[in-house]
Each structure stands twice: as structure tokens, then as C-alpha cells.
């Protein structure tokens, strides 16, 4: 490594770790390092960002900051616009090199990164970015993507630098509080923290036995809370890298295969499922990477043209957002999410699909609300999933969920529903998911349903079918498939027995005419 004279700034964003941190290792090998984190007030005021995100981010920042200090170069925290902060540092000490991980974030961070690149060009500062998600920067099509991701996942993990040489001129200041960023309490009682230690512990317990029930337990919000890996928050803060997790799972799988089945703490299939999901993570983030405006534009032009905005005070949106729709299982899921910041995949899909199909709300409005509520908000997974669960892609079989059936299947004893909707306490189990059938909607403090779920789904199907008959719909679907479709298998199903029909481009259009409704 050629030594660098001058200050190398390593810009930390959502990569709050010191292991498998290529920018840090690269800089450490070349000379003095200034590890920088900028808390950007403008970012923290965005409509898809929330207090719980900051609580999660701050805990991971505290952890990485301690680690960096132990290695010799404390984290330098500043509040402001990144370009302004970099201008000041450059004026004070002269930046020789800027290093960071590529970020596939929301539209705001996409534009912010363009401004940072322009700053570097203006001052002739080399800006080196490293991949941490396995996506192909700006890729326009999907051919050979899986092979690329496979190479990324098995490449060597960057080792933590043995020591860092600090830049003495940099003043260390404390991390801002939520208050200082203008953030208010958002009702999350105790968000799961996305620290490195939390991720390593979760991985250990998963492999030691917690993952034994992974495939069966993941569909219910009750068992999902313990059966799922729960790695999403630490992956979102970047306290642990997806490559580190995958390599740990690959190694665990190898030793599991050599262990007699009766001595295995978790079945091989559980590891395979988790590994597959971590691949999906990359697959989904690639969609936003290839089309950065997916948070504001539908994948499919026909759906984009048909969109109608939902006002923030729309009564159906407000009822859905705060768990007051009168449909017990939807309300239980939303209230649980507000309080905990987490929900399992199936229930995320159900609440999003219910908002878009049965309530006919704009996916942008419901998607923003969910983004704020998920403490693991990852724009590259979130926006493509929001669109997929709202039937906006044209390349996935639209799936409508019947919340009554989901409640009966996933919460047969009503434990989850009663815990989050205590007003239903006097309602017998037999009608817990359909209290309106017996009471005529006449419960003291619980609303009558704002829609009848099955009839509303039928109307949504009719609307969708009419759209799909529009001239040019199929051709546009093929174009979406070329750019975003998996060449490997269907990715719209979290179910272990999900079909594995590889969607050939020619077939994908006809697949569109199928609709699924779980009544």
C-alpha cells in the first residue's frame, strides 16, 4: 500500500462497524485516519425517517465509537450538511482521500452522495467507494447477477485494523440526542437495538437452537419474534456486514452437514432458508440501486399513470396507521409494530397489501408510514417490497391477504390479537377476528370495520384486472422483468413451500393474469 500524506477521511454512514470495513482497512494501511460521522438534520426531518431509527443508529454509533477509540482514532461526529462539514475539514487540515461504502439509500441520500462527489471533484480529492451489499452499481439489467452476488458473498472479509493513527487536530464531541435533531417520542417502547454485539448474540442463539423452528415459526407474529433471525436491525445500521453473516452461516452449514441429524441443533433447511433470505436482501437492494426513484415512482408505467395520491388526513389511512380499522388482526399488527418497531415478513406483507388493495390507499402514503415504524428501515428492501405487495410491479403474482383468515391461521388462540387490541377482551375466541358478525360493530371502544375485507378485496381485484388489460401492459411488464426480475426463482413468497418456477421472460407476462387471495 502506498503511504498517503495528508488526512484520509473515512465517512461512516450505515456501516457502523470496524470489521469487514474495507474503507477503514484500506485507509489504515495507508496512513492517518479521520473516522467521520455526520448527523444530518435535514435527513432526520424526512417523511420516511423517524425517532426510532435514530435511537437504533445512536446505539450502534456509541458502540463503534468505543471500538474506534480503542483502536486509536476516535469517531469524529459533526452535525450539519456533509458537504459543509467536508469543506471545513478540508480547509482546516486538507483531505487527501475520502473513503466510504456505497450506499443504496433513499432519494435524499442518493442526491446527497452526488453532491459529495461534486465536492470531491471540485477539490480534486480522490473519493473511493466500496460495495457492502453485493449490488452492482447502477446496473441496468439482471443477467448474471446471482453469480456476481455469490462472488461478493464469498470474497475475503476485511480484517479489523490492528491500530489506527489518529489525526490529532480533530476535536471529539458527543453524539447529538434525538432532541437536538428535532426528533420526538414516536411511541416505540423499546426498539430492538442494531448493535454488533446484538447481531453476534442473535447469530449464536440462532445456530445453537433458536433457529430450529425457523421455517415453521416465521409466519406467525407470535412465534416469528423468536424464531426469525432478527438480524435486520443490525444489518440496517451496518454493525455487521451481510458478508460476515453469510460466511458464518456457510461455515455453520458445512459443519452441520458433517453432524449426524440427531445431534443437529438446527436443521440444514433452516440455514438454507436464512441464507436464501440474505440473498434476497441483495436482490431487492439491487432494484433500488438500478432505479433510485422507486420510492416515488411505480415500477410499472400503467400503475404509475393510475396512481392517485392519498391525503395524510385521509380517514382510512389514519385508521390503518394507528390500528383503528375495526379489523382485529390488522389493528393488532399495526399496534404491535408501533410499540416494538418490528413485524415478521408475512404480517408486513399483509398490512401493506390491506392498505393498498382493500383500502385502496396510495402505496407511497402507507409505505412512508411503515418506513417510519420499521426500526430496520432499509430503503432498498422496503420500497420494492411495498410496491410488490401493492401490485405495482407487473412481474409478481399480486397477493391479497384475508386478515380474518390470517388471524385464524397465525394467531389461533387469539393471544397476539388480544394482547394488542385489549378492547376485544370480552369477545369470544370464535368471533375474535370477526367481532362485527356478532355484535353488529357495537363494541364499547372498538370501531366497526371500515371495510368488509372479502368484499373489498373483490373490488380491488376488479380494479387490478381492468388495469392489466390496458394496451401495452404486457410489454411494459417484460421491460420491468428485464431490469429487475430474478433469473433464478420467484421471490414473492416467504412460504417454505413456495413455488420454484423460474420465470422465463416470455412467460412472465402470462403469469401476471393470476391473482392470489387467501380466503
Ligand X SMILES: Cc1cc2nc3c(=O)[nH]c(=O)nc-3n(C[C@H](O)[C@H](O)[C@H](O)COP(=O)(O)OP(=O)(O)OC[C@H]3O[C@@H](n4cnc5c(N)ncnc54)[C@H](O)[C@@H]3O)c2cc1C
Of 322, 354, 345, the closest CA to residue 517 belongs to 354
Report which DSSP code applies to 212.
Answer: G
Residue 10 in contact with ligand X, rule: CB under 6 A: no
Binding pattern to ligand X, positions 473-502, x when CB under 6 A? Answer: ---------------------x--------
* List 252, 378, 406, 451, residue binding ligand X (CB under 6 A): 378
Q: Does 11 bind ligand X (CB under 6 A)?
A: no
Q: How far is the CB of 209 from ligand X (least distance, A)?
A: 15
From the list 494, 489, 507, 496, the residue with the least C-alpha distance to 142 is 489
Do the Cβ atoms of 259 and 106 come closer than 8 Å?
Answer: no
Residue closer to ligand X, measured from CB, 75 or 203: 203
Least distance CB 26 / ligand X (angstroms): 26
Q: Which stretch binds ligand X (CB under 6 A): 223-231, 393-401, 445-453, 497-505?
A: 223-231
Could you tell me which stretch among 24-32, 193-201, 321-329, 348-356 binds ligand X (CB under 6 A)? Answer: 348-356
Q: Which of 348, 369, 399, 484 binds ligand X (CB under 6 A)?
A: 348
Asked if 104 touches ligand X (CB under 6 A), the answer is no
The answer to whether 417 and 433 have CB atoms below 8 angstroms apart is: yes
Min dist. Cβ of residue 49 to ligand X (A): 12
Extended beta strands in 116-176, E state: 127-130
Strands of 49-140 (E only): list them: 76-79, 95-101, 127-130
Nearer to ligand X, 133 or 434 (CB): 133
The minimum distance between CB 73 and ligand X, in angstroms, equals 30
Residue 166 has what DSSP assignment?
B
Does residue 218 bind ligand X (CB under 6 A)? yes
Strands 76-79 and 127-130: unpaired
- Alpha-carbon separation of residue 240 from 91, 104, 244, 317, 373 (angstroms): 33, 16, 7, 35, 22
What 8-state DSSP symbol labels residue 329? H
Q: Which stretch binds ligand X (CB under 6 A): 155-163, 345-353, 405-413, 509-517?
A: 345-353
Identified binder of ligand X from the candidate list 152, 374, 420, 436, rule CB under 6 A: 374
Residue listed under C-alpha cell 395520491 = 309
Q: Quote the least distance from Cβ 334 to ligand X, whole Å.
A: 13
389 is a contact residue toward ligand X (CB under 6 A) = yes
Residue whose CB is less far from ligand X, 50 or 229: 229
Beta bridge partners of 79: 39
For 92, 123, 258, 359, the CA distances from 88, given in Å and listed in that order, are 6, 12, 57, 50
Tell me: does residue 382 bind ligand X (CB under 6 A): yes
Which of 25, 65, 336, 352 contacts ligand X by CB under 6 A?
A: 352
CA atoms lying within 13 Å on the CB side of residue 95? 27
- 228 is an interface residue for ligand X by CB under 6 A: yes
**Among residues 90 and 210, whose Cβ is nearest to ligand X?**
210
DSSP letter for each residue of 386-418: HHHTTT-SSSS--EE--HHHHHHHH-TT-HHHH
Q: Which of 108, 110, 322, 345 binds ligand X (CB under 6 A)?
A: 345
Q: How far is CA 516 from the centre of its chain?
A: 24
Please state the closest distance from residue 349 (CB atom) to ligand X, in A.
4
Residue 83 three-state SS: helix
Q: Give the nearest distance from C-beta 518 to ligand X in angstroms.
A: 15
Pick from 8, 51, 241, 344: which binds ligand X (CB under 6 A)? 344
Q: Which of 14, 142, 210, 277 binds ligand X (CB under 6 A)?
A: 277
- Nearest residue to 140 via CA among 479, 432, 380, 405: 479
DSSP-based three-state secondary structure for 77 = strand
Nearest distance, CB of residue 375 and ligand X, angstroms? 9
Q: Does 60 bind ligand X (CB under 6 A)?
A: no
Alpha-carbon distance values, 247 to 167, 243, 251, 285, 380 (Å):
34, 6, 6, 19, 22
Query: Which range in 95-103, 190-198, 229-237, 321-329 contacts ligand X by CB under 6 A?
Result: 229-237
Least distance to ligand X, CB of residue 138, Å:
20
133, 192, 220, 232: which one binds ligand X (CB under 6 A): 232
Cα separation of 460 and 406, whole Å? Answer: 18
Whichever of 39 and 203 has its CB closer to ligand X, that residue is 203
3-state secondary structure 450-492: CCCHHHHHHHHHHHHHHHHCCCCHHHHHHHHHHHHCCCCCCCC
Cβ nearer to ligand X, comparing 75 with 278:
278
CB atoms within 10 A of CB 137: 11
Residues 6+ positions from 444 with CB-CB distance below 8 Å:
423
- Retrieve residue 462's grid coordinates: 376488479
281 binding ligand X? (CB under 6 A): yes
Can residue 376 be called a binding residue for ligand X (CB under 6 A)?
A: yes
Of 112, 148, 210, 230, the one binding ligand X (CB under 6 A) is 230
Taking residue 380's Cβ as centre, other Cβ atoms within 10 Å add up to: 24
Please tell me the count of residues contacting ligand X according to CB under 6 A.
Answer: 29
How far does CA 131 lie from the centroid of its chain? 17
Check residue 15 for interaction with ligand X (CB under 6 A): no
Binding site for ligand X (CB under 6 A): 218, 228-232, 235-236, 274, 277-278, 280-281, 284, 344-345, 348-349, 352, 374, 376-378, 381-382, 385-386, 389, 494
Amino acid at each position: 500500500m502506498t503511504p498517503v500524506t495528508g488526512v484520509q477521511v473515512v465517512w461512516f454512514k450505515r456501516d457502523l462497524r470496524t470489521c469487514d470495513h474495507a474503507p477503514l482497512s484500506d485507509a489504515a494501511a495507508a496512513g492517518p485516519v479521520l473516522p467521520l460521522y455526520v448527523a444530518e438534520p435535514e435527513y432526520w426531518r424526512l417523511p420516511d425517517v423517524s425517532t426510532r431509527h435514530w435511537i437504533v443508529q445512536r446505539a450502534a454509533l456509541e458502540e463503534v465509537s468505543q471500538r474506534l477509540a480503542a483502536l486509536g482514532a476516535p469517531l469524529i461526529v459533526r452535525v450539519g450538511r456533509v458537504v459543509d462539514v467536508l469543506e471545513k475539514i478540508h480547509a482546516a487540515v486538507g483531505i487527501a482521500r475520502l473513503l466510504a461504502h456505497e450506499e443504496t439509500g433513499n432519494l435524499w441520500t442518493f442526491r446527497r452522495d452526488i453532491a459529495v462527489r461534486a465536492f470531491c471533484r471540485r477539490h480534486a480529492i480522490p473519493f473511493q467507494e466500496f460495495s457492502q451489499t453485493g449490488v452492482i452499481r447502477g446496473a441496468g439489467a439482471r443477467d448474471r447477477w446471482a453469480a456476481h452476488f455469490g462472488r461478493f458473498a464469498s470474497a475475503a472479509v476485511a480484517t479489523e485494523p490492528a491500530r489506527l493513527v489518529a489525526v490529532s487536530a480533530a476535536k471529539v464531541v458527543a453524539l447529538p440526542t434525538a432532541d437536538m435533531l428535532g426528533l420526538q417520542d414516536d411511541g416505540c417502547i423499546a426498539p430492538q437495538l442494531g448493535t454488533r454485539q446484538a447481531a453476534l448474540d442473535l447469530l449464536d442463539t440462532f445456530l445453537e437452537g433458536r433457529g430450529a423452528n425457523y421455517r415453521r415459526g416465521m409466519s406467525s407474529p407470535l412465534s416469528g419474534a423468536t424464531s426469525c433471525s432478527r438480524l435486520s436491525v443490525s444489518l440496517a445500521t451496518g454493525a455487521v456486514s451481510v458478508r460476515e453473516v453469510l460466511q458464518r452461516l456457510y461455515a455453520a452449514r458445512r459443519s452441520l452437514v458433517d453432524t449426524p441429524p440427531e445431534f443437529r441443533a438446527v436443521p440444514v433447511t433452516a440455514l438454507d432458508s436464512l441464507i436464501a433470505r440474505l440473498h434476497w436482501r441483495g436482490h431487492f437492494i439491487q432494484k433500488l440501486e438500478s432505479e433510485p426513484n422507486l420510492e416515488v415512482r411505480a415500477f410499472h408505467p400503467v400503475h404509475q399513470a393510475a396512481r392517485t395520491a392519498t391525503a395524510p388526513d385521509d380517514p382510512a389511512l389514519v385508521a390503518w396507521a394507528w390500528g383503528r380499522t375495526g379489523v382485529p388482526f390488522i389493528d393488532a399488527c399495526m399496534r404491535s409494530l408501533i410499540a416494538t418497531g418490528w413485524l415478521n415478513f408475512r404480517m408486513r406483507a399483509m398490512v401493506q397489501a390491506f392498505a393498498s388493495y382493500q383500502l385502496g390507499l396510495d402505496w407511497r402514503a402507507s409505505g412512508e408510514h411503515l418506513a417510519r415504524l420499521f426500526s430496520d428501515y432499509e430503503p432498498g428492501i422496503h420500497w420494492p417490497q411495498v410496491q410488490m405487495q401493492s401490485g405495482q410491479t407487473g412481474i409478481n403474482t399480486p397477493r391479497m391477504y384475508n386478515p380474518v383468515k390470517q388471524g385464524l391461521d397465525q394467531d389461533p388462540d387469539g393471544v397476539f390479537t388480544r394482547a394488542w387490541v385489549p378492547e376485544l377482551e370480552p369477545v369470544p375466541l370464535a368471533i375474535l377476528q370477526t367481532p362485527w358478525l356478532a355484535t353488529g360493530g357495537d363494541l364499547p371502544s372498538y370501531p366497526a370495520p371500515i371495510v368488509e375485507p372479502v368484499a373489498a378485496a373483490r373490488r380491488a381485484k376488479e380494479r387490478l384486472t381492468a388495469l392489466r388489460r390496458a394496451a401495452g401492459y404486457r410489454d411494459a411488464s417484460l421491460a420491468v422483468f428485464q431490469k429487475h426480475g430474478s433469473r433464478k426463482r420467484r421471490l414473492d413468497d416467504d412460504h417454505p413451500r413456495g413455488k420454484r418456477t423460474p420465470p422465463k421472460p416470455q412467460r412472465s407476462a402470462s403469469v401476471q393474469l393470476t391473482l392470489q387471495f387467501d380466503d
